[in-house]
Chains A and B, each alone.
Chain A
Amino acid sequence: MNAAVRQNAREAWSLLLIDEAPGRVLASPILTSRACLCAGYAVGEYCRDAGAMAKSHLKALEVFGHDGICLFSDVGILAEAMGSVFHHAEHAVPILDRPLVGEADDPRELRAPGPRSGRLPVIVGAARTCHASAGDVVPVFAFVPGPFTTAAMLAGVEAFLTALVLDPPRARALLDAGARASVPFLDALMVAGALPVIVEPLASASVVSPKTFEDFARPYILRLVRYLHRFDLDVVLHVCGETGPEFGLLPGTEADLLSLDKVDLAEASARPGRRCRIVGNLSTDLMLRGAPGEVGRAVEAMIEVGRGTPKGYVASTGCELPAATPDENIHAFIEAARDAASPPETEKKS
């Protein structure tokens, strides 16, 4: 049989997602706001302007040739659209300044923001542009803050974490608001051509206990996953930080792909990897500070482990690339993945 032509990202992803072995290892580092440097934009402008965001990612794609466009600015985007106040700086992503929900406010009265609220149109517009420009060869992922993280951005992180312990009904009301808030945004992203990725940095074991995850994070993540599953989409759940203690619980979110960070990849592959595809998990610290050779070797070693994942594997970083990540390291990542041999057959759904 003739040797196959190298598949593009769209083709390789499409095979992975229907339980077929792609012709090569997918290399999809979480290249989010770092992309702005490729097009010469400041981070602030990238976060505020759909055109800047789109051009950044399209330029980054041209420069690096990675396997997924990752549209993301910050975890507060939904909360901001609902009314939380964020501080915007020219060279940093927005950070929470004043949460919307004070102690006296009732979260049950919160309304979901329309897709034109706040900076939501930035992501939606960028998704539309990226899909129109490059969507034939590469999937467009749009990272959407999950309910747990949005709840924290609505009430303030400390206040929310405290409520989890001292006022569970209030915490659930915030979580419900966070979940509801996502829906119009998810709809707009889907119509624009993006595949939503639920991102829950605050739900990791670095922040909360597995029990808290199970009781408070998982049910609301599951709600969103099931909402997306209604449209038959493949759902990526990204939880950065340590999630090893949550391995037994993550498949219960029903996410199809788990994007992981500070975990033992072999264990992830062997445990949640039996039910979910695994995405990850090269250290962003290494990407930032390491030499290209080190990055390349680490990627090779990582792929060697990850490719044994029964449901399938995507080579990625544990979290979004820091702004100062050198170009050479990103190139080293992509090249090392490109040189890796084809993945083995994944387990077939039957």
Chain B
Amino acid sequence: MNPSDLTHLDVERAPDRCAFPDPAPRKIGVEEWHARFKRVPQALIDTYRYFRDAGRTAWNAYLQPPSFFHIYGMRVLSRLAFDNGLASLRLWGFVLNEGERLYRARQCGRKVVALMGDYGSLAPLVCSFPGLVPFYPDFQYWTPFLGESKVLLDTAEEAGVGERCCFVRSALAAFLRRAYFPDPALVIASTGAVCDDLDAVAQRVQALGHPFAWFELPWRKSAHPGYRFGPECAGDPSREEALLADGFRRAAGRLSALAGVPFDEGRLSATLAKVERARSLIRRIRTLALSVSPRPLPALELMQVEFAGPHFYADLDECLSVLEDVKETVERRAAAGIGFGPPDASPVAWATPPADPVLLHRLEEMGGRLAATEFMIAQSRAPLDLSRPPLEALASSFFLEASLIGNTEQRARAFLDEAGANGARGAVISGLFASSHCVSETRILRDLMSKRLDGPVLAFDVPSPGGRGLRNPVKNRLAAYMETLKRRRRT
């Protein structure tokens, strides 16, 4: 199927969209978006819905202003600023609504499948089964920062997983508190080439008693001098891809039992066509947002777009529509030469997704912009070769591109190419205290970045939430770093 033939996924030309044109791009806060939202035509609010096959229900509209989410506990929003365009508002509403969406999925007869650790290879498989909805409890890693709250971290500590585990411990706490997502019908957790903290949390989750399966992620080895890889040798990509494809088949067996329908490669192929469309949209939006000046999309919105890759925020079809909308907006802005921030904003490459969204916001406030990102999910935007059998296409795409299954140099390669191409003058590594990959990776990344970019590298661990505002040391360091970049630009 040619992805461009997906006419049924064309952006709905909501009748009143013209009545709410985008103003000149500017970042606005909660209060201003609240006021602006009053002018959004009701017809538009009624148009944007998730789980469209459920019809127009009382609950599936998701166009909500940031003030809505702020009232319901996402306190950090009052310290952020947002793209004032409609597509981004739609994106934010769709993203932040996901928690409720998972409960509604269960309420309307779907089954929710929790995936842990693979970030993008299993979700398409889940989506290919009717009535199954994927999500990643791991992404509760953001919840303490969104709420500026220690609730989840405290719960994890009481369960014996304290601050010597990275923020992914919030996922365990979320399972225990049973208020962030419904009890999943099945958990498929990855082990093997995954972060130790995530693996440990997944083992704790298994012990809670949910229906559970393990999925092995292969190690993408490095080509050390003296290695000889060849067909059928351990470490050879085709062998590992075959093993991954086998793993997918086993997972498909579990999903088939859950969905009550047999696994069907044709259905998976159709799903992969949509997934590839989503990935190509993400790639296109990223390319423009990272390379065009002034930037046509702010950093936080770009991160939201990137994180659509792993599981499409639990609604693939609607996610596609949202991404189409964002892409159209970004292309329009790029063509018109309009965007955010000063044209001489300092381009910065950023490695590891910052758990605290305030960091990206501060970067832009302090005169920076993103020129490259490596958010540990490169596999979720990697092209899928749709000419191959679907399981092989998934396996191959994952094995070649997954951010964390190989070594740091592999992870950094494409990222540094992108940073170089987009003129990055420096780099930031927002690490996580106690995260297993950060332990050895940080120094290596810093070395690679310094050499390749010929610019300063700032590395820090994101401080825990719970206080108001970024802890001062990190804030001060970021400010000093941005000042350094500006001075270097001037000289």
Tell me how far the C-beta of B439 lies from the nearest C-beta in chain A, rounded to whole angstroms. 30
A194 contacts B71, CB within 8 Å?
yes
Partner of B71, one of A7, A20, A136, A190: A190
Residues of B within 8 A of A233 (CB): 68, 71
Which of the 9-residue segments A9-17, A86-94, A299-307 touches chain B? Answer: A9-17
Q: Which of B23-81 contact A (CB under 8 A)?
A: 30-31, 34-35, 37-38, 42, 45, 57-59, 61, 64-65, 67-68, 70-73, 75, 78
Name the residue in B65, B72, B99 with the highest tally of chain A Cβ atoms < 10 Å from its Cβ: B72
Partner of B70, one of A8, A15, A193: A193
Partner of B208, one of A1, A7, A22, A231: A1
B447 at the interface (CB under 8 A from A): no
B58 contacts A8, CB within 8 Å?
no
A132 at the interface (CB under 8 A from B): yes
The digit string for A326-350, where 1 denotes a CB below 8 A from any CB of B, is: 0000000000000000000000111
The digit string for A126-152, where 1 denotes a CB below 8 A from any CB of B, is: 000001100111010000000000000
Q: Which of A142-168 contact B (CB under 8 A)?
A: none
Among residues of B, the one whose C-beta sits closest to the C-beta of A131 is B75
Q: Which of B359-374 contact A (CB under 8 A)?
A: none
B446 at the interface (CB under 8 A from A): no
Number of A-B contacts (CB under 8 A): 103
A132 contacts B75, CB within 8 Å?
yes
B70 contacts A11, CB within 8 Å?
no
A14 contacts B73, CB within 8 Å?
yes
Partner of A10, one of B64, B73, B99, B158: B73
A5 at the interface (CB under 8 A from B): yes
Among residues of B, the one whose C-beta sits closest to the C-beta of A135 is B75
B108 at the interface (CB under 8 A from A): yes
Among residues of A, the one whose C-beta sits closest to the C-beta of B72 is A14
Provide the main secondary structure of the chain A interface: loop
Among residues of A, the one whose C-beta sits closest to the C-beta of B109 is A350
A14 contacts B179, CB within 8 Å?
yes
The digit string for B66-104, where 1 denotes a CB below 8 A from any CB of A, is: 011011110100100000000000000000000110011
A199 at the interface (CB under 8 A from B): no
Among residues of B, the one whose C-beta sits closest to the C-beta of A140 is B71
Bound complex: CA A23 to CA B179 (Å): 8
B107 at the interface (CB under 8 A from A): yes
Q: Which of A1-47 contact B (CB under 8 A)?
A: 1-2, 4-5, 7-8, 10-12, 14-15, 18-20, 22-23
Bound complex: CA A18 to CA B38 (Å): 24
* Residue tally, chain B, CB below 8 Å to A: 47
- Given known contacts A14-B73, A18-B103, A195-B71, A2 and B35 CB-to-CB distance under 8 angstroms: no
A187 contacts B35, CB within 8 Å?
yes
B71 contacts A349, CB within 8 Å?
no
Residues of B within 8 A of A7 (CB): 177-179
Residues of A within 8 A of B240 (CB): none
A291 at the interface (CB under 8 A from B): no
The digit string for A110-137, where 1 denotes a CB below 8 A from any CB of B, is: 0000000000000000000001100111
B176 contacts A4, CB within 8 Å?
yes
Tell me how far the C-beta of B205 lies from the nearest C-beta in chain A, rounded to whole angstroms. 10
Among residues of A, the one whose C-beta sits closest to the C-beta of B149 is A136
Tell me how far the C-beta of B35 lies from the nearest C-beta in chain A, rounded to whole angstroms. 7
Chain B residues proximal to chain A, CB less than 8 Å: 30-31, 34-35, 37-38, 42, 45, 57-59, 61, 64-65, 67-68, 70-73, 75, 78, 99-100, 103-104, 107-108, 147-149, 151, 155, 158, 173, 176-180, 182-183, 207-210, 468
Known: A136-B75, A139-B71. 11 other contacts (CB 8 A): A4-B178, A5-B176, A7-B178, A11-B177, A131-B75, A190-B71, A191-B34, A194-B71, A195-B72, A230-B37, A349-B59
Q: List 14 A-B contacts (CB under 8 A).
A: A1-B208, A1-B210, A4-B177, A5-B173, A5-B176, A7-B177, A7-B178, A11-B151, A11-B177, A15-B179, A18-B100, A23-B178, A139-B72, A230-B42
* 6 nearest A-B residue pairs (beta carbon): A136-B149, A11-B179, A348-B107, A4-B178, A136-B147, A1-B209
